[in-house]
Chain A
């Protein structure tokens, strides 16, 4: 690993100020992705600002919903009693991600900040517009089995690898960030971005901003939820496709529906048209199939990932069926 300067800070203000003074540096929390990227030479921060001592670990219920500190550990969030009882979709998504060891290290903020696992991004001998803007995309005509079917551009067809983020997008969470200009809130669905002409930008954070927490508004998605993750092995692999499904049922009638997919786009992919279609309908396989058809509109594959066009609608129906049970 390349050498770097190291700073340990104890307040949000100090963290933000230290980054402002060291613009080529970066924050480190759990480090599970960052250390990996640094060992590969993909990321080369000149200074690491260790934020683990910041008071951002709490998980608390407020009138508005659930407030999760950016430094709350993934395993602790998934085992939290309030999360288990009132936000089970988040619990399921967290448990589907990574391994028990990694979940004991990874933080909520770090999970959001993880980079794509596109092999061309990780291999510094290959072109990658995300790693080195303008160098080209190795995946576009390469081995693109894991890659996007929605919202990609001719510059980048990488996907965001998180499971947790798919659930948070479905649950209409909000991200709180602190920066040199103070605090602001970003809708979770606006946090990650599509690649467009700037795939080097994963998200809409402004220069020098630090994620301080995530808030999930109160909801009634406590019973009929399911996080389906399809991967190459039974556990501990990134999603080929994942689906977060949440239904609020009144008898067999869908009062409200939330759907999001992982492993298909540069960001957690909300299926708003399918959600609208399902609202007021009965929870039947037929309706779920129609919703899945709507959801897959505009999907485009790149060769090795053609199977995702077929797998996508099946996964959506499966997740909805499981959620409705």
Chain B
């Protein structure tokens, strides 16, 4: 297995030591070769470097589970979730930050995972659509999307729901107009917008803690 999965709280092996070959720390010695006092000083900085095709170690928590992974720098958070962690609930729509299908929460904030390099999420906490439900009990927003028929084909739905939860948590769901504005980063080509807005209004009125 390429990936080492660890449950929260488990003691991990020293990842950095075991994967030392993946890391090159720029040293004062290497910098000295350039013989500029400015650059020598920079050499004292903690620079993590991955060369071409080298993988970087990555510690990331996804839906409450800590993962110690190894990824190429060009892998996006979206591809990491789908291809390496097999969490395919997060969808790849446009892959250019225009459709919102890939919306996840990073440290509690919604982002487009297709535009974030996985390695830039070192030490962060990610929540995906798979992390919303509590066992068999659906999240209030998932319930509301079903109740209000907030989808047709369903492809944009995980992103819509992740965005909707954030929209309420941010305090941007006080009325229909505000919801429309703050949900504009999620495109639904089936046109379920009015029902999505209804679902969000309903959850907002319910006042549940999300």
Give chain A's interface residues, CB within 8 Å of chain B.
Answer: 1-11, 13-14, 17-18, 20-21, 28, 31-32, 35-36, 39-40, 48, 50, 52, 75, 98-102, 104-105, 180, 234-236
Contact A100 B38, beta carbon cutoff 8 Å: no
Q: From known contacts A31-B116, A36-B97, infer whether A4 and B76 are also in contact, taking CB-CB under 8 Å.
A: no
Residues of the B chain whose Cβ atoms lie less than 8 Å from the Cβ of A10: 45-47
Q: Is B41 an interface residue (CB 8 A)?
A: yes
Q: Are A99 and B46 in contact (CB under 8 A)?
A: no
Query: Given A31-B115, A99-B100, does the pair A13, B42 have CB atoms closer than 8 Å?
Result: yes
**Docked-complex contact B52 and A20, CB < 8 angstroms:** no
B45 & A13 in contact (Cβ 8 Å cutoff): yes
Contact B95 A104 (CB under 8 A): no
Contact yes or no, B115 A9, CB < 8 A: no
Interface residues of B (CB under 8 A from A): 34, 38-39, 41-42, 45-53, 56, 72-74, 76, 95-97, 100, 103, 109-112, 114-117, 119-120, 163, 166-167, 170, 172, 180-186
Nearest CB in chain A: distance from B67 CB, A:
19
Closest Cβ of chain B to A323, distance in Å, is 20
Extra pairs beyond A101-B185, A105-B112 (19, CB < 8 Å): A1-B74, A3-B72, A5-B50, A6-B48, A8-B47, A10-B47, A11-B45, A17-B41, A17-B42, A48-B117, A50-B119, A98-B185, A99-B100, A99-B186, A101-B112, A101-B163, A105-B111, A235-B184, A236-B184
Q: Which residue, of B74, B97, B183, has the highest number of chain A Cβ atoms within 10 A?
A: B97
Which interface residue of B76, B100, B120, B186 has the most chain A CB atoms within 10 A?
B120
Q: How far is the CA of A1 from the CA of B96 in the complex (A)?
A: 12
Interface of B is mostly: mixed
Closest partner residue, chain A, to B76 (CB atom): A35
Q: Report the nearest B residue to A95, measured CB to CB.
A: B181
